Amino acid sequence: MTSLLEKKSCPVQFVLAINDTLNVFSGKWKMPIIGTLLFGKRRFTELERNIPKITPRMLSKELKDLEMNGVIRRMVHHTTPVTVEYELTESGRTLGEILDKMIEWGMQHRKTTIGDQLVSELNLS
């Protein structure tokens, strides 16, 4: 595997790595699903309740995509009725650090942009 330093020194490999990452996370719902699963195993209905406005059809599609990409694992328990749980794989759990950085950036960005907007609005009044 090529090291991160080597990837950063080659614009083509750098862009490919970014594109690979974004392909896994593309869409509105994948990050909220991953964020919810960082708190532990969840059943389909629990995920649905924890992620406002996601439809069952979209949740099902996104779970299949994340499973196909090795980010989550679907576990079927042979109970009556059958129980299905979803959890992050080891690879998926490493995304917690990325989400933490995204949250930090988002909070700072919101503070900067909304803070600047508030100052502008106050100056106009």
More confident residue, 4 or 33: 33
- Residue 99 inside a domain? The answer is no
DSSP 28: S
Hey, how many other C-beta atoms are within 10 angstroms of the C-beta on 84? 13
The predicted-structure confidence for 64-119, as pLDDT tens digits, reads as follows: 999 999 999 999 999 999 999 999 999 999 999 988 998 899 888 888 888 766 65
Whether 113 is covered by a domain: the verdict is: no
Predicted TM-score of the model (pTM): 0.77
Kindly state whether residue 125 falls inside one of the protein's structural domains.
Answer: no
Residues in the chain: 125
69 lies in which domain range? Answer: 4-93
- How many CB atoms sit inside 10 A of residue 51's CB? 17
Structural domain contains residue 83: yes
Give the total number of structural domains in the chain. 1
Does residue 5 have a pLDDT over 80? Answer: no
Q: Which residues lie closer than 8 Å to 96 by C-beta, 6 or more apart?
A: 38
Instruction: Report the alpha-carbon distance of residue 78 to residue 66 in Å, rounded.
Output: 23
Q: Is residue 38 part of a domain?
A: yes
**Whole-angstrom Cα distance, residue 117 to residue 71?**
38
Question: Which residues in the chain belong to E strands, given as ranges?
Answer: 42-43, 72-77, 83-88
pLDDT at 124 over 60: no
> What helix, strand, coil percent values describe the chain, rounded to 5?
65, 10, 20
Whether residue 67 lies inside any domain: the answer is yes
Domain membership flag for residue 98:
no
User: What pLDDT was estimated at residue 113?
Assistant: 85
Task: Check which CATH number belongs to the domain holding 34 and give it.
Answer: 1.10.10.10
120 belongs to a structural domain: no
